[in-house]
Amino acid sequence: MSIVIVGTTAVITMALCLLLHYEVLRLLFVHSSKLKHQPRVRVGVVFATLITTHLIEIWIFAFGYLLLNGRGSLGHIEHSITHFLDYVYFSASVYTLLAFGEYLPVGPLALLRRAGIVLRSVHDHVVCDLHCRYDAWILSQAVAAKR
């Protein structure tokens, strides 16, 4: 039963992150061309928005770890977590694929960590392609605006 709870949490967490990322990219695509600023400002707005989106995704996973850590048979993270920012730190190290090793999920909770790694892999292969295409489109708009 514990694997079902952790698995469901992992799926919900991944779905929230993917939906957030999709909607942000969609809104950027629709609205960034409407910005009447210099092209560099538009590119800066796009990058700042994407970085903020990634930070929100890290926090979403941190909340997932907070909900599941130490809840009976759901597993725990081996290391003393004293503050919510420890969850954010762990989530960021997993999300960026650095995984320093200070924190180690044990039991079914490790499934949520694996979901974060899978999400990052999907991001690296699929979403980065979309980012590159979008960035190329933004730059082409900037060049066209100069003419």
> Tell me: the pLDDT tens digits for 114-139?
677 777 666 665 666 666 676 677 67
Task: Please tell me which residue, 138 or 20, carries the higher pLDDT value.
Answer: 20
pLDDT of amino acid 3: 79
pLDDT of amino acid 100: 62
Asked whether residue 83 carries a pLDDT value surpassing 90, the answer given is no
| Range 91-125 burial, b when 16+ CB lie within 10 A, else e | bbbbbeeeeeeebebebbbebbbebbeebbeebee
State how far Cα 15 lies from the chain centre.
11
What average pLDDT does the segment 16-27 reach? 89
Task: Please tell me which residue, 41 or 18, carries the higher pLDDT value.
Answer: 18
End-to-end alpha carbon distance in the chain: 62
What average pLDDT does the segment 19-39 reach? 81
Confidence of residue 66 (pLDDT cuts 50, 70, 90): confident
Whole-number average pLDDT of the chain = 78
Compute, in degrees rounded to 10, the torsion defined by CA atoms 47, 42, 134, 113: 20
pLDDT of amino acid 16: 92
Query: Domains of the chain (ranges plus CATH)?
Result: 2-32+49-146 (1.10.287.70)
